[in-house]
Structure 1
């Protein structure tokens, strides 16, 4: 993770991820400049704390989309002439200029997403994705509460600081990356995951049959919602509707529950050298605190207690 604390804005300015631009200070600097970046291989979260009231004129770098969310100074922040509040978010596309005017020192969160990742995300959701947003900057009210994105970012910054080895495996980065993008686009798009109707009539039973066959054929840790969409030749919206209709939960939650059961099975058959960390890393778990809570909610015991019980029986 990039962690930067500097007394001058020039170093801060040069370290910004996904954009390139120039700061002009409104007034004398009041505090140090701070920057944290977590890179998830194509999706990066950046948290900044500015040292003075500023005007920032920048341009999105080629190959990156960015979302901008003020964390403080909402009522004194203006983006491209649009005054902000606690519900507003900014969206910046590659190669397009933007201006951010903060009348007092502000803190903010951005998420930079590569064009490749965004287009891949949109491809399996093409019946609900607004492709016009790929070509223009915009400032709008979020369609959902912004708090889940801020909470998720804080968890990722914390884990990156304390246990980065857990986060930076291929499967863990994929899970974290997809979770971040799902939260971001739920803010940007008017998607109702429970009641959105599919545009085309499809055989829902056949879609579900193909999806479950895929899950049985592959290891649970290697299957994601987009894999189900490709295997069933259905959009993410249609797959979501099918799972809610027949299984009573979204595909994301269904995969999460299956993964919990797979981890429980791995714990119950653990070897002498296995730990909770080593077992969970095989399944792409990056947030151990949240995982432990989910495991206890489903099975009534913490995963560490399950492993201790298994090893105690093995030693008898």
Structure 2
């Protein structure tokens, strides 16, 4: 079993299995970040404990389908605009962006399943499998209580930690993998396609994707709300609606957080002779006192302290 305790979110972010993305902290870090992974050779079980309120934007890796289930903080977790409760479960497909908004530090469970194994399961159970889910992300109402799935996960974590030789031989891994996938799909399927929680607004998704692509492409240049509107061919009101629904905050606040995280990354990779003033100037910062207060409130140190202590 892989077991990781991180002081900061960067290492935690890089260790996630089956997905690739980035965190924005919604609040100051309150605890360390913890990650446990059990790899069953094609199916991986992951239990994550986040250290702050977060916004995670990511995509499923090309080889994996993923399910997502908050273990704590369900009522404060929103995935792609859909608020969770004790009955909901998230499904993420390869190469499609998703957004997880947790206003408080949360603990969650994911299962990453290889495409080959998912397609094999679908072929064996074609009479009960909904093939439409292979092409879209969704948040749906679980068809059975999620508690058995959570208990199965905890059993696997326990055995993997205390007697891994019992679990990690080809026969045992195959049995555990099969039981886990059966539990996942029997919890997820059949889908209630008439339920509005599984409907998707394609235009809103396009607007959000193009707005985030603009931010990624401009790197160090400052970005404003009017730039997002121009890039997405959408009105300010529409852009505001999309950001509030999918990211849980206004475009203005998201741009502020995005800039803070970008400046933090730039400070960490600063070259000798670079100063906070020269770094921040690239991002359009003019009120350095305000920036310092914001930086301290999210990262627990001043930009000057971060520059002095950066990894060399």
**TM-score, structure 2 as length reference:** 0.61
CA apart distance, 1:190: 2.5
Corresponding residue of 1:138: 138
Question: How far apart, CA to CA, are the structure 2 residues paired with 1:34 and 1:78?
Answer: 21
- Asked if 1 retains the 8 angstrom alpha-carbon contact of 2:129 and 2:190, the reply is no
- Asked if 1 retains the 8 angstrom alpha-carbon contact of 2:56 and 2:101, the reply is yes
Corresponding residue of 2:76: 76
Q: How many residues align?
A: 191
Structure 2 SS opposite 1:71: strand
Corresponding residue of 2:114: 114
Corresponding residue of 2:223: none
Structure 2 SS opposite 1:104: coil
- Asked if 1 retains the 8 angstrom alpha-carbon contact of 2:46 and 2:109, the reply is yes
- Asked if 1 retains the 8 angstrom alpha-carbon contact of 2:130 and 2:190, the reply is no
1 or 2 for the larger relative contact order (CA 8 Å, sep ≥6)? 2
**Structure 1 residue ranges without an equivalent (≥5):** 192-316
Larger Rg: 1
Corresponding residue of 1:156: 156
CA apart distance, 1:27: 1.1
Corresponding residue of 1:37: 37
Cα RMSD over matched residues?
A: 0.8
Corresponding residue of 1:18: 18
Structure 1 SS opposite 2:127: coil
**TM-score, structure 1 as length reference:** 0.60
CA apart distance, 1:127: 1.6
CA apart distance, 1:11: 0.3
Corresponding residue of 1:67: 67
**Structure 2 residue ranges without an equivalent (≥5):** 192-312
Corresponding residue of 2:96: 96
Corresponding residue of 1:184: 184
Question: How far apart, CA to CA, are the structure 1 residues paired with 2:97 and 2:2?
Answer: 25
Question: How far apart, CA to CA, are the structure 2 residues paired with 1:49 and 1:62?
Answer: 25
Structure 2 SS opposite 1:161: helix
